[in-house]
Structure 1
Amino acid sequence: MNVLVTGGAGFIGSHITNALLENGHEVIVVDPLDPYYDVGIKDRNIKLCRKSSPERYTYVDGSITDEDTVDRLFDEYNVEFVFHEAAQAGVRTSVENPHKPHEINTTGLLNLLEAAVDHDVRRFVNASSSSVYGHDEYLPYDEDHPTTPRSPYGVTKRTAEHYCRVYTEIHDLPTVSLRYFTVYGPRMRPNMAITNFTSRCLAGEPPVIYGDGQQTRDFTYIDDVVRANLALLETDAADGEAMNIGSTGNITIEALADHVIAETGADVEPVYDDAKEADARHTHADVSKARELIDYDPTTDIRDGVSRFVDWYEDNREWYAPLVRAS
């Protein structure tokens, strides 16, 4: 099958791409290598994917905000299936510059949906986010929980979900939106808490906690996220739906920092700084819907996942750590 992965040079996109190649699919990746974080990590992702299957991997340097580029991709490569991972990420950065996430996460999505309809794509999988929930009225979040995003980023992700649902209803385009809960693992973005904590601890510096440390997060290991996406190649369930993809557990940021300190063996104590604007206080996923529709079963506990990441970080420190420290 010819599969388009938007944002396929990024963290989640490159892992999905690797899995698709391992399963024998032709994969077309489009990514503009935006320097939101060090593009050296993205270059490495491209090389890893190309090396795994050079004859079935195609990389296109382009943006989904350009209609001509999108149309050319669907025409030239006969796209049958789309994993839409491209986005301007970042809750905090979206507060500072809301126009960029709107252009990429909303206008870019519309360009893809229009092309998908025109080319009779078999299914369009949209990467959404737990940021659509915003204020927690109860925990864990199920998909019926009110969606009151606290950031422009969250607004764009919720808007994208609505567009996908509408295109399913009026154009019969099969779409599914997966609400990711703080994905982490090897090659993750350097501006995430786990990366920052690990980097600082291995450098003998204290991890910095923003706020009182009692805020909680549902961290989801990358392998679980990849399995959820690939399950949608095998079933026609969930068309027009949005569903949570989380770990089913959560942890305080303070406990996370303590665990990273223990795993790295660092002789440091966390330090505290002011809380960041627009951050959710708590996240926690109810994955019952995904379990029912796509047999989703997350297998990696946060403590096990952090241990894996620290081991990976130390093995790849020569190239990854300098990029993290510079970002």
Structure 2
Amino acid sequence: MFTSAIPSLRWLQGFEAVARLGNVTRAAEALFISQSAVSHQIAQLEAHLGQPLFRRVGRGMELTMAGEFLLDTVGKALDHIRSGLGRLDTYLDAQLLTIVCPADIAQGWLQARLHSLQAQLPNLCPVVSVDETARYVDQVDVDVVISRSPLQQAGLTERVLFDDALVAVCTPALAAALAQSPQPGGFICLEGDAMSATVGPHLRQHFAGWSRRGMFDDARLLLDAALRGLGVAVLSRAVASEALAQGRLQCWPGFAPLPNGSLWLAQAQEPRSALIEQVVAHLLSETP
């Protein structure tokens, strides 16, 4: 009689191996157990289900209809388990390190620091995630979190990575053109900053008489627009840091930087590898 109780995983592995490979001998070799052990697993599974799963055809084994139905389910389940174990094995690679970071900070500040670090640690494989919902630091898939507020999670070491500020930047070509023009130019900013009760008045004070050339809801789009020379952009210094360091952007004189909060760095108090400590130390040494 059929029972709804889930049978032993070993029985299911033996069944799947015989079904996939066609006979008990090859299944036993694949599972590194004896032929009698595989046969016993099949017998126990058939007894558990109350119906035969194979019929013998010459020296091989052929699935019954019940066996075909079961294989469709068991094969998919075992493939899913193998995939999960493979992913776990990847995450436990000693040279792999996962950092969760806001997308704009990852693009504007973090990427350059990791690139220089990989010159020192060529085997380092950083996994950079901008999924800020995956903020839980553990011993498997998240090693370091960079965020705009502390996580307040037990077992973490958290510290301020650096203090950010809003700055006005533009391309050198645009700066030169504006310096020669008697008329004010155009400025661009984040939509949220323009509507903000704190940042909005700061923008209106410094850009009175200027035309607004664009507003964006993503700092990466704002950075791209600034690099294209669309206008003087007011954005995070952290986001603009690489472009400023490379000379592709320069600070616009006369705009007083406005505090923009802090970036926090969190790691486990007992990190799973010494590599994490090396990366954290490098990031801390690269702060503005």
TM range, smaller chain? under 0.3
Task: Indicate the structure whose relative CO is greater, using CA pairs within 8 Å and at least 6 residues apart.
Answer: 2
State the TM-score, normalized to the length of structure 1. Answer: 0.20
Structure showing the higher strand proportion among its residues = 2
State the TM-score, normalized to the length of structure 2. Answer: 0.22
